[in-house]
Amino acid sequence: MEKLQKATFAGGCFWCMVKPFDQWDGVEKVISGYTGGSIINPTYEQVKTGETGHYEAVEITFNPQKVSYDQILDLYWPQIDPTDDGGQFHDRGPQYRTAIFYHTTEQKEKAEDSKRKLENSNKFRLPIVTEILPAVAFYPAEEYHQDFYQKNEQEYLEDREKSGRDEFIHHHWK
């Protein structure tokens, strides 16, 4: 039996962070949730105030025999604006900051290396502010947030369009 691993990323609204990873061969599941804050089992209502210290994040369970952590990192960066420390796109506040939460020393080294490569690429004029932090307790979000892009496709597409995320991605990453 293959040993599964976890990768945890914050990239703004977790609704927009599930689909890119969910569709990769080797990704077993992607859970929307909260991490990095001071409250145990926070609710969306608590986190959205921006006062709990939590990030909206996704926890990705993957099979490293089919998809590597490096590949997952390569998919993460183009989903975000790594220069924005006030949130992502139209979602503002500390709960929408970007971060890579590493689960192992190897993940930390790979995340730092990928960030360094992005900084050295001169793709952005502003500094890369995405933090690289140790993984801490991850709390799954409420059920209605899980697989939102599938359950509420029209609302998901409308939110994504008005957020400016896709325009940014197309302009900076394509």
The mean pLDDT of 117-144, rounded to a whole number, is 96
Tokens for 18, please give them.
Answer: 């599930």
Above pLDDT 90, what percent of the chain? Answer: 95
> Can you tell me whether residue 34 is helix, strand or coil?
strand
Cα separations (Å) of 59 from 6, 24, 117, 123, 173? 7, 14, 24, 27, 23
| Run of H or E including 60 | strand 55-62
Mean of the per-residue pLDDT values of the chain: 95
Annotated active-site residue 13? The verdict is yes
More confident residue, 1 or 107: 107
CA-to-CA distance for 133 and 155, rounded, in angstroms?
Answer: 32
- Give the active site residue among 13, 16, 99, 111: 13
Asked if residue 125 has pLDDT above 90, the reply is yes
Residues 57/10, Cβ–Cβ less than 8 Å: yes
CATH architecture of 5-173: 2-Layer Sandwich (3.30)
Rounded to two decimals, what is the model's pTM? 0.95
Q: Model confidence at 174, in pLDDT bands (50, 70, 90)?
A: confident
Query: What residues does each domain of the chain span?
Result: 5-173
More confident residue, 174 or 108: 108
Asked if residue 153 has pLDDT above 60, the reply is yes
Q: What pLDDT is recorded for position 104?
A: 98
Q: What pLDDT is recorded for position 27?
A: 97
